[in-house]
Amino acid sequence: MDVGAGDPGLQLDIRYATDDNFLSRAVYDAARCLLVPDAADRLAAAERTLRAEGYALVVWDCYRPRSVQYAMWEILPDPDYVADPERGSRHNRGAAVDVGLRVLDGRALVLPTAHDDFTPKAHRDATDLPPEAIENRERLERAMTAAGWIPLSTEWWHFDAPGWERYPLRDDPLSAAAGGN
């Protein structure tokens, strides 16, 4: 499902369609958030929960072509942060998201790190952070886990849909990928 098309209020900041990522170049041909239907429903549920509290998601990544996974692995062959492309990523299946948090009224939020920070400060159990960053990380995690998402221990922004392994690996460009991913 094309989540951005289904919810125009959802803020997409698809980093891999820009130079603002650890590869320092755009590796997506379109800024789209494609997810399997179950994951799309879970993302919408988390967004509803957060909106009721005055917050909202910022979506940085969803489905990722497998060819991009190979490019990432060439730069950072560390399975704590980048899935081995031979096995594939949950993102390559349309069953994972990278998300941040924002305030509905426009105020900036302190978050633990930037997206794609590959240091211990990005880990979910990091404590050497401003209290506000920990509070916001926990707020995001509560909303996502209440919607059934499974958090990744090494990246506070990464969440997997349950049953991700039942979806096939994909390598379609985002511009050509079907909305029913």
CA-derived radius of gyration, the chain: 15
Per-residue pLDDT band at 31 (split at 50, 70, 90): very high
CA angle 56, 61, 71 (to 5 degrees): 160
Is residue 30 classed as helix, strand or coil in its secondary structure?
coil
Residues annotated as part of the active site: 155
Q: Is the pLDDT of residue 178 over 70?
A: no
- Structural domains of the chain in order of their starting residue, each with its CATH number: 3-166 (3.30.1380.10)
Q: What is the mean pLDDT of residues 30-38?
A: 96
Alpha-carbon gap, residue 103 to 38, rounded angstroms:
26
The 10s digit of each residue's pLDDT in 87-146 is 999 999 999 999 999 999 878 799 999 999 999 999 999 999 999 999 999 999 999 999
Assessment of whether the complete model's pTM goes beyond 0.75: yes
